[in-house]
Amino acid sequence: MSNFASILNALKSKLQKFEGKECLRLSEIHKKLSEKASFATFIDNLWIGGWGREDYNHYTDPNNRNNAIEVNPEYFYDLLEKREGLDLYEIEEEIIDLLGPLKKFQQELVTDLSLINNNEKLSAEMELLDNIEKFEWGFEVNDYISYRRPSNVVIYDRDILSNGLPTPPHIHATGFMVSLTTKAFSTKKFVDLSTRIIRQIELKLNLHELSDDSDYSNHILSNVFDNFHSFYKQLKNRHADRPTIEIADEYDVQDLLHAILKLHFRDVREEEYTPSYAGSSTRMDFLLKNEKIVIEVKKTRDKLKDKEIGEQLILDIAHYRNHPDCKILKCFVYDPDSRVKNPKGLEDDINKSSNDDLQVELVIRP
């Protein structure tokens, strides 16, 4: 049961990170697109053609109301960028990038929570999990076109009939905008569903009491790691240029982090030895005894980058698996000069080392 609680905690921790990054940005994009919804009405009113006719792509020229022009969807994309400052192709690329990690998490969530299958007590949650597995991230342009296409159209030209009903360019353009808007908004519904199923499982299996302390600790440590660089920059900005601590190496990071941890945790132990592994032992940076959390701290430098950090952490993890007070390992890598070329990739690789006995999380900041 405690193993399942740790799985739920890990999922909740990831959700919190998405809410602070991907979801926040997608919400901003949704707001920006929604504010330009009147553009769809504007181009709709320019249309002087008709469905199923040769003039399906004829419009009043917005720059000269006395002229008629023939256009394609690209015309309206350019017009939107000139008038409203929105590049739909650029927005589409950003949305795809932002939704990528969430879609990956969707599969992880479904896989991890498959443990509830065949549990009669969780029949409602199994149905909810099925909805999450089938969750659609907004709808496509063709869905909108199908919605706008009239059910009955009078067609006099057989060529049009044989080639298929052409779609007016403004319908394509509006469909693109609406599709992007729904995709940007879909993340809110997904997060709500994911949060709901995790909470319901906790309550029904009485796991909420087990997870509360761990949730608090994870939340505190996430904030500490995420804001460490801002904290350090503020610390350097002292009144009347008074002396302050400068981060030159790993030990300076440890000193600062130690002081911060003392604000939030009662029992912070430093430099405890781990049990022997492969004939050697190592000293952990910090142990939060009551929370059973070990914190390993590193700072990048010329000869400590992606490969070297990964190799060191793999060895550290092997040591920590044998420590009776280590159930969660938090690895904080302070990288102020962005020496790590692929921080997300390294984080994912190291985090895969987690199992039922040890939950591993690597955080590379800023």
Sketch the domain layout of the chain as residue ranges: 2-206, 212-365
* pLDDT of amino acid 10: 87
- Beta-bridge partner residues of 361: 330
Q: Is 274 left (phi over 0), alpha (psi -120 to 50) or beta?
A: beta
Query: Against a cut of 0.85, is the pTM above it?
Result: no
CA angle 240-246-247, nearest 5°? 155
Count of other CB atoms within 10 angstroms of residue 209: 9
- Beta-bridge partner residues of 69: 59
Greatest Cα pair distance in the chain: 87
- Choosing among 3.40.50, 3.40.1350, 3.30.300, 3.30.2310, the CATH entry for 212-365 is 3.40.1350
Q: How far apart are CA 321 and CA 81, in angstroms?
A: 55
Q: How far apart are CA 241 and CA 141, in angstroms?
A: 58
Q: How far apart are CA 158 and CA 164, in angstroms?
A: 10
pLDDT in tens, the chain (366 residues): 456 777 888 898 889 888 888 999 999 999 999 999 999 999 999 999 998 888 999 999 999 999 999 999 999 999 999 999 999 999 999 999 999 999 999 999 999 999 888 888 888 899 999 999 999 999 999 999 999 998 887 766 666 666 678 899 999 999 999 999 999 999 999 999 999 999 888 888 776 544 556 667 888 898 899 999 999 999 988 888 889 889 999 999 999 999 999 998 889 988 655 554 444 445 678 999 888 899 999 999 988 888 899 999 998 898 888 788 888 999 999 999 999 999 999 998 999 888 878 889 999 998
Which token pair is 198? 């995790």
Query: By the 8 A CB rule, do 176 and 77 touch?
Result: yes
Which token pair is 356? 């039922």
Count of other CB atoms within 10 angstroms of residue 351: 16
* pLDDT of amino acid 156: 64
Query: By the 8 A CB rule, do 103 and 95 touch?
Result: no
> Quick one: which of 308, 247, 297, 300 has its CA closest to 271?
297
Q: What SS3 class is residue 190?
A: helix
* pLDDT of amino acid 9: 84
Q: How far apart are CA 365 and CA 251, in angstroms?
A: 17
Q: How far apart are CA 248 and CA 246, in angstroms?
A: 6
Q: CB-based contacts of 196: which residues, under 8 Å, 6+ apart?
A: 128
Query: By the 8 A CB rule, do 194 and 12 touch?
Result: no
Count of other CB atoms within 10 angstroms of residue 303: 7
Query: By the 8 A CB rule, do 69 and 61 touch?
Result: yes
* pLDDT of amino acid 162: 66
Q: CB-based contacts of 312: which residues, under 8 Å, 6+ apart?
A: 298
Query: By the 8 A CB rule, do 102 and 190 touch?
Result: yes
